[in-house]
Amino acid sequence: MDKVYSIDDLDVRLLKLLAAEPRIGVLECSRRLGVARGTAQARLDRLVERGVLRGFGPELDPVALGYGVMAFITLEIRQRRGHQPVAEHLAGIPEVLEAHTITGSGDMMCRIVARSNADLQRVIDEIVSVDGIVRASTIIALEEQIHYRVLPLVRA
């Protein structure tokens, strides 16, 4: 099992600040949090080292990039070969945003995007072209109601 680390109030305040203003520098973080620059940097380094903070990259919107269709596809995997060959195949498809092994009627679930419904068919065809996939079931997302978020967990 992965090690779970506790975070204190300063960590929470630092994470909230970085979430609200991702381009803020360490010096400005320390000023706003009322701590020394070294303290802010050490906390930031510790959060990265522990895997709490996974990156500082920009958050991109697929719709703004021309991918207006989002869907979720559940895959049934041929068990004798395992999940890894399918995961490697999926990693080579740019429209696959994420993939997770799951429990239930399927074995893997992916969030995918496409430029149109016709393009979605192309993406699905590319996904199922690998030998390890037995069956696929797709659900098209109509509208995002709650954007992916983790900050409420930090606040809790």
Q: Which of 50-54, 80-84, 99-103 has the highest mean pLDDT?
A: 99-103
CB 17 within 8 A of CB 29: yes
Residue 63 has pLDDT above 60, yes or no: yes
Residue 153 has pLDDT above 90, yes or no: no
Show the tokens assigned to 27. 């010096």
Sheet holding 69-77, edge to edge: 96-101, 108-114, 69-77, 133-141
Q: What is the pLDDT of residue 145?
A: 94
Q: How far apart are CA 154 and CA 116, in angstroms?
A: 36
pTM, to two decimals: 0.82
